[in-house]
Structure formats: C-alpha cells, structure tokens
C-alpha cells in the first residue's frame, strides 16, 4: 500500500537498496500512466539493469496523441496487462488510425480483460467504421466516460468488442439525467449481464471519505427500463479521468460490485417490470 501511495519516495529509496528495489519494483510499475512520449523510456531496460519494467505493468493509462509505432510498442511490451485505459487525444482522427497502432486488428502481446475509454464519443468509432481492434478482443468489462448523452453508438463499440458482458457508462452530474436511447441499447445487446450508469457527483469539501450511494434512494426511471441496469452515484472530490482511473484500477472503486448491490436492492422493491 505504501509503495502505491508514495511512488516518488520509493524511487529514491530504490537507489539506496537493491533488496528494497527488487521488492517494490513490481508494485511501483503495477499501474502506469503515459502522458508524454518520454515516459516510455522509464519502462525500458537501462544500463547495468537488464530488467524490463514493462513486464510488471498490469494497468496502463495512455493519455497521448495517437502515434501508431509508439502505441503498438507499448501494447507489445506490457504483455501482462490486465486493464487498459485510453484518454481523449487518442480518439482524434480515428479514420486515419483505423487498423494502426492501438487500434490495430493484428495480434498484440497484451490481452486486457478490462478497457476504460475516457472522454470518448462512441459515434466517432461508428463514423470511422473502425475494424475490431485487438485490444478489445478479450475485453469482458468495458467502462466508457461518454461525451455524448446519445448512447446509440455504444452498440457499435460493443459489436467490435464481442466478449463484453459488463458495461459501465460514466457521466459527471447532472449530464446522466439527460441520457437518451437507453432502452434501444439494452434491447440491442442481450449479451450484457450488467449495465451500470455511474454518475460522479463532485464534493467541494472533504467532509467525509469518498463514498458510494447505492441504497438510499428509490428506483430510478432508468432502472425500470431493464433489470440489468444499475444507477450508481459516486461522491468524489475530484472526479477527473486520472483520479477515476486510479480508483477503478486499484479496487478502491468497484463499479461492478456496486452495481450488483444496487440491482439486488432494486429487486427487493419488487416493482421492476418484466424483462425487455
């Protein structure tokens, strides 16, 4: 825990003790955010140190403009990756990026089972007619911070992610209340087991720990659309993509467990309609 919370201090101590370095290195490089191309060099072997740090990466967050060679090298270097997060700049000009780099349909070394798309408009995927990328081939849990309230294009992303059984759509309060075409998406995707609608509510003061409101409000109209839908509110001080990614990948925020809890609560009310 300390290694994850105090990475800068750990890096300093690693220069002093080889034993400490060997112990903490897998923790230090377990979650990596790439926001500059230079960050890639921190994962490469260094002089006198043959270790490939990328082999420790389980959770990767790419927050750089699209670069086919750079992205493909990352995917093939982090073969133990469990979750992949991609932020806005990578989604620009997807038509040019089709079947290249991170969106390549060719086999890559990593097989993330969880994929997070931050600040993404799935309509861009649909318009570019993106070929099924390899990074989505084994994805079972998909989290999308969607920039549009019209979610019909989410079905296209699901069509190129054939293994997805758990879908979470995230919005910052109050945009989720304007969500459109939920029933259509539910009907078009019977393979989904969980459809989580996650609303991040910003708190300006930290009067209490971040907590999740899943049980103290009545059944929402969205939850009457389909019994798989769970409406979850998350209170956070700073609901930006980087903080949300850290919480989602470390287990501090388990939207799937919260969704299961919420579905169970709704079922106990015995007011759900029949399944679509």
Length of the chain: 276
Out of 2-11, 105-114, 170-179, least confident range: 2-11
* Mean pLDDT calculated for residue range 238-261: 85
Out of 93-102, 119-128, 154-163, 205-214, least confident range: 205-214
Cis peptide before 174 (omega within 30 of 0): yes
Q: What is the pTM (predicted TM-score) of this model?
A: 0.85
User: What pLDDT was estimated at residue 152?
Assistant: 95
User: What pLDDT was estimated at residue 21?
Assistant: 62
CA pseudo-torsion sign 159, 241, 227, 194: positive
User: What pLDDT was estimated at residue 77?
Assistant: 87
* Mean pLDDT calculated for residue range 89-118: 84
User: What pLDDT was estimated at residue 207?
Assistant: 47
Instruction: Return mean pLDDT, the chain.
Output: 81
Nearest to 97 by CA among 86, 110, 113, 83: 86
Using alpha carbons only, how large is the chain's radius of gyration in Å?
20
* Mean pLDDT calculated for residue range 101-122: 91
State whether residue 101 is helix, strand or coil.
Answer: helix
State whether residue 215 is helix, strand or coil.
Answer: coil
Out of 58-72, 92-106, 205-219, least confident range: 205-219
Beta bridge partners of 236: 202
CB atoms within 10 A of CB 137: 16
Out of 186-195, 244-253, 254-263, least confident range: 244-253
Helix spans in the chain (H):
2-5, 7-14, 18-28, 68-77, 94-97, 122-128, 154-159, 182-188, 241-250, 255-269
* Mean pLDDT calculated for residue range 167-171: 96
Distances from the Cα of 47 to the Cαs of 19, 23, 27, 50, 122, in angstroms? 18, 20, 22, 7, 43
Q: Over 50: is that where the pLDDT of 118 sits? A: yes
Of 16-25, 42-51, 125-134, give the range with the top mean pLDDT.
125-134
Percent of the chain with pLDDT over 70: 75
User: What pLDDT was estimated at residue 3?
Assistant: 45
Q: Which 3-state string (H, E, C) describes 217-255?
A: CCCCHHHHCCCCEEEEEEEECCCCHHHHHHHHHHCCCCH
CB atoms within 10 A of CB 46: 10
Instruction: Please provide the distance, in angstroms rounded to a whole number, between the alpha carbons at the two ends of the chain.
Output: 44
Looking only at the bridges linking them, the beta strands covering 211-213 and 229-236 are antiparallel
């Amino acid at each position: 825990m300390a290694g994850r919370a105090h990475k800068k201090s750990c890096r300093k101590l690693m220069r002093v003790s080889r034993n400490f370095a060997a112990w903490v290195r897998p923790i230090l490089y377990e979650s990596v955010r790439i926001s500059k191309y230079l960050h890639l060099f921190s994962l490469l072997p260094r002089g006198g140190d043959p270790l490939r740090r990328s082999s420790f990466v389980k959770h990767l967050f790419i927050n750089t403009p699209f670069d086919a060679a750079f992205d493909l090298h990352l995917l093939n270097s982090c073969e133990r990756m469990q979750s992949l997060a991609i932020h806005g700049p990578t989604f620009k000009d997807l038509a040019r990026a089709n079947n290249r780099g991170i969106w390549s349909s060719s086999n890559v070394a990593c097989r993330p089972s969880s994929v997070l798309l931050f600040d993404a408009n799935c309509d861009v995927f649909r318009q570019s007619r993106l070929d099924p990328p390899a990074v989505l081939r084994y994805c079972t849990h998909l989290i999308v911070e969607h920039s549009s309230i019209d979610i019909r294009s989410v079905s296209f992303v699901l069509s190129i992610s054939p293994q997805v059984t758990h879908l979470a759509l995230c919005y910052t309060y109050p945009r989720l209340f304007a969500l459109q075409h939920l029933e259509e998406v539910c009907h078009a995707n019977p393979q989904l087991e969980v459809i989580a609608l996650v609303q991040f509510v910003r708190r300006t003061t930290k009067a209490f720990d971040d907590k999740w409101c899943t049980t103290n409000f009545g059944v929402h109209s969205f939850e009457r659309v389909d019994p798989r839908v769970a409406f979850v509110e998350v209170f956070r001080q700073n609901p930006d993509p980087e903080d949300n990614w850290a919480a989602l990948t470390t287990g501090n925020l388990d939207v799937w467990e919260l969704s299961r809890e919420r579905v169970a609560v709704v079922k106990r009310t015995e007011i759900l309609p029949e399944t679509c």
